A = this chain, B = another copy of it.
């Protein structure tokens, strides 16, 4: 059965691949699972029909027969559990890859997202410019630790996994900030993710929504 995901009708990032549907598209491309996309507007996202799928009125959602899921982490994990290629077979290595998924979403993303949220919700406040260096230093603390762990390895723990997929996409949120450039091994790590054929196909698909050249939705 072909799953259906939701994505922004008009992505705020203008097709730069930073919205969370990109993670799900990338995972589906990595495992070779075709999918449908239903585009939703910002007003539709807060209406009862969408809230029934996603309690917080966001994208992406994932529908497959009787199953409806929300939260990109849970959706990517669901895909990784049902297909080969995103989680190691060895039980301990699998549990460690899942640790990296949670680390990307619960340790690394919050300070990075705070940077974007501050611009969006506090960009016109008197304190915004003065506070930004404080926010950036919180991000640097985490990047320094991640950089130390990655070292000169290609991926965080052995072969590419759903943990790397999540971490690369979270780090991509720093595009344009210049902060990632301070950590050459992390910049290379992100570039390694972007170079994967599955990433490229997913990126092209979400960009096509913005440029109006999409096949679906």
| Residues of A in contact with B (beta carbons under 8 Å apart) | 51, 55-58, 66-75, 77-78, 92, 95-96, 98-99, 101-103, 105-107, 109-110, 113-114, 117, 121-122, 125-127, 130-131, 134, 138, 142, 145-146, 148-149
Contact = CB atoms under 8 A, between A and B. Distances in A.
Contact of A106 (B66, B71, B146): B71
Contacts of A114: 110, 114
A72 B102 CA distance: 8
B71 A103 contact: yes
Interface of A is mostly: helix
Given A73-B106, A77-B98, A122-B134, 13 more contacts: A55-B148, A55-B149, A58-B107, A67-B95, A68-B96, A70-B103, A71-B99, A73-B105, A74-B102, A78-B95, A105-B105, A106-B106, A127-B130
Contacts of A73: 102, 105-106
Nearest to A127: B127
